[in-house]
Structures are given as structure tokens and as C-alpha cells.
Amino acid sequence: MDKFEQLARDAEYALFLLANESTGDFELIEPQPIPTDAARGYSERGLSFGGVLALVGGKPRSALALPLEDATVDAIVREFIARVVYMEKHPRWMVPGGNA
């Protein structure tokens, strides 16, 4: 098992990072199969696997596969935090319009 698989396995919450290190473009995605049309779009943007961002024991952890500019890392961290905050406020089991 590599460091990416281990981090994803240990995490309470994990996202995969797709990144284009030359442009700074990135996408954080759920660790699940990627639909063909989405994969095509990521490819057209020059995105490739860039690592895993996760919460392990309530603490942020990452395993990156690409060297990234500081500004790109800052943007990725901000997006990850925003996603964590969203998930805290909107648990997966909550159904819009439900009685939760």
C-alpha cells in the first residue's frame, strides 16, 4: 500500500487532488470512480493525480505527488477547508427537505 492509499484508508474524510502543476489549475474530487465525461474534462484541463488531502483523527493531513507553487497550495488548502466546513454543516446522510 502506498502513502496515498494509506492516507485515504486512515481518513475520516478524504479528497483526491487533480492538478496541473504548470498552470496551477486543480480540482478536489471524492475518492470514487470518475464518470467518463468528467475524466475527459479533467484531461482537457491537463489535470493529473496530485495527491490526497484528508482528515485523520480530526487533523488535516496530505500526501502530495507533485511539486506545486505556494499560491496553488494556499488555494488548495482554502478549498479543502471550505469542503470540510460544508460537510460539517451538511452531513452526507442529510437529505434536502428532510426532517433531520
C-alpha cell at 16: 483526491
User: How far is 85 from 69, CA to CA, in rounded Å?
Assistant: 25
pLDDT at 99: 44
Average pLDDT over residues 35-41: 96
Strands 59-64 and 26-29, bridge-based pairing? unpaired
d(CA 91, CA 94): 5
Q: Is the pLDDT of residue 2 over 50?
A: yes
pLDDT digits (tens, 9 = 90+) for 44-98: 999 999 999 999 999 999 999 999 899 999 999 999 999 999 888 887 755 555 4
Please answer whether residues 22 and 33 qualify as being in contact, where contact means their C-beta atoms are separated by less than 8 angstroms.
Answer: no
Given a cut of 50, whether residue 36 has pLDDT beyond it is: yes
